[in-house]
Amino acid sequence: MKLIYSVHKYDVFMFNRLINASFYHNLATAARYISRTGDGYLYLLLVTVLYFKDGWQSPFLQTLLLAFLMERPIYFVLKNGFKRNRPQAAIKEFHSLVTPSDKFSFPSGHTSAAFMVAIISGFFIPVLLLPLLLWAALVGFSRVVLGVHFPTDTLVGMILGISAATYSLNQIIL
């Protein structure tokens, strides 16, 4: 329990440092756009393109589907099991810049899905790996900037996404 409190205390400290930084308002506008790229529409578009290009036999499509079928339930169980309040509920007089789709913050689903898609897409299109990892990191960072996640929410989201991607690649490809 002491560890959880220490992590939360550090999270609040880091969150407040970011929110109170002089450049915060400049980041906020960009964060809104970057965060939207992780809302799921691009993933649906990617799955649709892969289906129409190669059909259900596409290893890329199969890997993505397996990863989402595994990651989303784990994410849901963690989110509803830990029930960690979002910054707006945890910090007095703070208001997030966007309205989150659910009540709890741990882990970040946007970050998890972004890293999962980045790793899998980078495996199949290696030249895109580094730009996609940068994009995934920016999605996670944008969620903190927007005030809907603490830093460790995005860190655990990243770990979940990378783990789901790695497992799925091992099952389908390797």
Q: Which residue among the candidates 8, 25, 95, 149 is catalytic per the annotation?
A: 149
Q: Is the Cβ–Cβ distance between 64 and 47 less than 8 Å? A: yes
Query: Which residues have C-beta within 8 Å of that of residue 67, sequence separation ≥ 6?
Result: 116, 120, 164, 165, 167, 168
Query: Please, where are the H alpha helices in 37-174?
Result: 41-54, 59-82, 87-90, 109-124, 129-145, 151-172
> With the C-alpha atoms ordered 136, 137, 140, 142, is the resulting torsion angle positive or negative?
negative
Radius of gyration, CA atoms only, the chain: 17
Q: Which residue among the candidates 8, 25, 95, 110 is catalytic per the annotation?
A: 110
Q: Is 149 a catalytic residue?
A: yes
What are the catalytic residues?
110, 149
